[in-house]
Amino acid sequence: MKTLGIYIHIPFCIQKCLYCDFLSFPKGRQEQTLYFDALKKEIETSAEECRDYEVVSVFFGGGTPTSVDPQHIVEIMKILKKFYNLRENAEITIECNPGTADATALREYHEAGINRISIGLQSANDEELKRLGRIHNLRQFEECYKNAREAGFVNVNVDLMSALPGQSVEDWERNLKYVCGLNPKPEHISAYSLIIEEGTPFYQIYEGEAAQIEKNGVVITGDNKDEYPPLPDEDSEREMYHRTGEILGANGYHRYEISNYAMNSEGEAANVGTAGPLDDDGGKYECLHNKRYWQGGDYIGFGLGAASLFNGERFHNTSDFRKYLEASGTPEKQDAERLDTAAQMEEFMFLGLRMISGVSAGEFKNKFGQSIEDVYGEIFAELISEDLMVREGDTIRLTDKGLDVSNYCMAKFLI
């Protein structure tokens, strides 16, 4: 049976962070109820076209899924179990911001069948959290983490963000060491670098534009720039990147994707081996759902603006809240595109090379009926000569040097 990942978008949040460009916003309880009615209809309506698939992963993302009444999430879990072929040990994740889920809610999520939780700490420094516009502090994170463990979660991810305003390399090292010192340690750590996205308050601040954004009652313009600490320079950001791997590696984590680290299972060596097949966990705590994105597996998104790659077609739902509600469970596909062979090859390479284990030449041949060398041989030779890529038997992967300049390397594979 073919396999499938499901993404469920919960667009609600209590307050939008200064760096956030995700499709999310605060809404009242009445609007939330209307949204979940439409979302449940969409999930039920789509069950028939998914009946030949085994669902191996589910991911509740946002927004902040834990900011809504937990019963909404529980009801969706009931629908998934009733109408979809859920694998017995399917990975089911919910994103959680500290301060938005109490002990009772966390127990309800776990009892409903959610077995993985991703907690958005971002920083263990309260001052850094304030600069980001986060609504929680370190004490609230610690309470959330404790409650998640007591609720029964044995697969916990913690999100961290580096290169924050005013952050030094030493500040970042303290954040990493703090998370590694949690008892028990999180099974997974996502360590991302802050990206200043257009349209966010941080973009207005750090790009110095004259346009204004009102955020939480404060008008932010480029003229406010001097009121915010500067971003770390390029050398400091690069040092943070390297220290991440060193510190997490020393604490029992292996990097399996550019920004993601999983705890080594008992007896498991650091994962730098061959590229594994789709749906192979590769390591007990590697995020199976996100690996589907990087390995080109089918996934379907439900909810406002949710994206899908299903049966060779890429599309997404409308991002218009009112139109989504009016669709009565059948939102129109937006920007539908059937990927031709060239586009599929491109994605196979530039997404697959995000994985530390790289891509498989044999899998490429099975998928496309062509030798990977016939298509990309010249590019391989160039990158290998620059010590940015290595070929080991069936596996082609970026070296540590190549991972440092991954955007440059991946751009080479756009046919």
pLDDT at 219: 55
Domain(s) labelled CATH 3.80.30.20 in the chain stretch across 2-194+232-299
Domain(s) labelled CATH 1.10.10.920 in the chain stretch across 340-415
State the Cα–Cα distance between residues 255 and 238, nearest whole angstrom: 17
Helix pair angle (70-83, 29-45), 10° resolution: 10
pLDDT at 373: 95
pLDDT at 414: 82
State the Cα–Cα distance between residues 5 and 300, nearest whole angstrom: 6
99 contact partners, CB below 8 Å, separation of at least 6: 135, 136, 140, 144
Helices (H) and strands (E) in the chain, counts: 15, 17
State the Cα–Cα distance between residues 314 and 305, nearest whole angstrom: 13
Strand extents, DSSP E, 225-306: 253-257, 260-263, 299-302
**pTM listed for this prediction:** 0.91
Tens digits of pLDDT across the chain (415 residues): 899 999 999 999 888 787 787 777 777 889 999 999 999 999 999 999 999 999 999 999 998 999 999 999 999 999 999 999 999 999 999 999 998 999 999 999 999 999 999 999 999 999 999 999 899 999 999 999 999 999 999 999 999 999 999 999 999 999 999 999 999 999 999 999 998 888 888 888 887 654 455 554 555 555 555 567 889 999 999 999 999 999 999 999 999 999 999 998 754 444 444 455 566 555 689 999 999 999 989 999 999 999 999 988 999 999 999 999 999 889 989 999 999 999 999 999 999 999 999 999 999 999 999 999 999 999 999 999 999 999 999 999 999 999 999 999 999 998 6
User: Over the range 134-162, which residues count as b (16 or more CB within 10 Å of their CB) and which as e?
Assistant: bbbebebbeebbebbbebebebbbbbbbb
pLDDT at 226: 59
CATH class of the domain whose range is 2-194+232-299: alpha beta
pLDDT at 201: 81
340-415: CATH topology:
Arc Repressor Mutant, subunit A (1.10.10)
pLDDT at 272: 43
**Residue 1: burial class (beta carbons within 10 Å; 0-12, 13-18, 19+):** exposed
Q: How far is CA 406 from the centre of its chain?
A: 18
pLDDT at 222: 52
